[in-house]
Amino acid sequence: MERISTDLLVIGAGSGGLSVAAGASQMGANVVLLERGEMGGDCLNYGCVPSKALIRSAKTAHAMRHAARYGIGSVEPSVDYAAAKDHVQEVIASIAPHDSQGRFEGLGVRVIRETGRFVSETEVEAGAHLIRARRIVLATGSSPMVPPIPGLDAVPYLTNETLWDLRELPEHLLIIGGGPIGMEMAQTHRRLGSRVTVIEGAKALGKDDPELAEVALDAIRGEGVEIVEGAQAAEVRGTAGAIEVETGDGRVFAGSHLLLAVGRRANVDDLNLTRAGIETTKTGVKVDARLKTTNRRVYAIGDVAGGLQFTHVASYHAGLVVRSAVLGLPAKASTDHLPWATYTDPELANVGLTEAQAKERFGDKVEVARFDYDGNDRAQADRLTTGRVKVVVHRGRPVGAAIVGHQAGEHIGLWAFAISSKAKMQNVAGMVAPYPTYSELNKRAAGAYFSPRLFDSGAVKRVVRTVQRWLP
């Protein structure tokens, strides 16, 4: 067995692990990277990248059906599902070199393609290698959760990992789970030509601002997706091409394919964490504000850390760990400024506190500013007027924002920056945005916060009248 000593051992080559490995190695640390599966992790191979590529195919089909509103003849597209999946794989292949083993070895990282298991607090066994590290970073990500539904073990089903192997368009796709993955794939497959039924035990898109989530859900329903809420899947039965899901209230939903999208579970089972003195929780590895586990030499980042499960959060964690483990500088994680987006059409994006959360924290000292997309000239020109910007404000500073509408995921970045930099609403209102652009929406939302103070205030009007009398 080869014995290796290193400054930093990173377990997992997803977005977080790769960011740590690249940063640490380029700063001069000796780095070993373990990955038992595909380089690039879930995001590149099964998650963010392939789903957005297929969403683009579906948007193109949808645009062809609705071209008449722009003076172009609408046509029913000829959808080649297998070719759309080829497009997905081409996109993955175009990004893969950036995450490849060869690139990271070129950066000076020792890459070992094996499963790692702790054998002590500072040592990990990986195949024929025993690695002793001064610091270790767990970046093993998460996997699709498979719920214990009676009958599921006897019925073929898809997850976000296996969906990409499917080459024939489902006739009727049943989806258990109405979160971001479920709703994105529901709308996408409906636009590609499938019938789609979503079965959600609670509220679809339930983690988003409810006021704005309903706008997105109404649009998805309007395209023909059946969304059944408050319906727990109690039993699954059938065979390939003929599957039934029975809910707790006795309703039965029949379809040709079944997709499970009920959440994700942290990848911790094979790590032998107890040997390293690392505690876990129901959602992942127990970490403190510095992302350190109960073993002070070991960090956990991204999905496995049990918090927000987004690629950009893993990358954010990676930067903090490089600061701490490589440079020895203080670094603590915060979630207040971390945005997230769901890429339905319209898109739905959030950052910070919802209105309800802000009122719970700050009481009646919370104000809400809104501005609708139909008041934006670019949205009118594009005929994409379904949407709204909503900003939650405390003492003149934004503490949360939500956007539903075209490119909401792009526009939420301004509010994430405002919250992280502790900017005031007057800073956003004072921004000059080019005309006509969607970026004016955020400025107008900030303006809506000040409008009552300026135009409905008797004091302001009295001041203006006095000034006008004295002006030459």
Q: Is 387 annotated as a binding residue?
A: no
Q: Is 363 annotated as a binding residue?
A: no
Q: Is 248 annotated as a binding residue?
A: no
Question: How far is residue 55's CA from residue 52's CA, in Å, rounded to a whole number?
Answer: 5
Q: Is 255 annotated as a binding residue?
A: no
Q: Is 123 annotated as a binding residue?
A: no
Q: Is 238 annotated as a binding residue?
A: no
Q: Is 184 annotated as a binding residue?
A: yes
Q: Is 230 annotated as a binding residue?
A: no
Q: Is 179 annotated as a binding residue?
A: yes
Name 423's Cβ contacts closer than 8 Å, sequence gap at least 6.
Answer: 397, 398, 417
User: How does DSSP classify residue 292?
Assistant: B
- Preceding omega of 436 cis (within 30 degrees of 0): yes
User: How does DSSP classify residue 285?
Assistant: B
Tokens representing 357 are 């959360």
Q: Is 16 annotated as a binding residue?
A: no
C-alpha distances (whole Å) from 86 to each of 135, 286, 339, 433 are: 41, 40, 31, 39
Residue from 55, 21, 65 nearest 39 by CA: 21
Q: Is 434 annotated as a binding residue?
A: no
Question: How far is residue 407's CA from residue 124's CA, in Å, rounded to a whole number?
Answer: 44
Q: Which residues of 251-263 are buried (b: 16+ CB within 10 A; e: fewer)?
A: eebebbbbbbbbe
Within 10 Å of residue 269's Cβ, how many Cβ atoms? 11
Question: How far is residue 298's CA from residue 302's CA, in Å, rounded to a whole number?
Answer: 14
Q: Is 1 annotated as a binding residue?
A: no
Burial of residue 297 (CB within 10 Å: 0-12, 13-18, 19+) is middle
Question: How far is residue 155's CA from residue 257's CA, in Å, rounded to a whole number?
Answer: 10
Residue from 394, 441, 435 nearest 413 by CA: 441
Q: Is 177 annotated as a binding residue?
A: yes
Q: Is 106 annotated as a binding residue?
A: no
Binding-site sequence positions for NAD(+): 177-184, 200, 263
Binding-site sequence positions for FAD: 52, 116, 140-142, 303
Binding-site sequence positions: 52, 116, 140-142, 177-184, 200, 263, 303
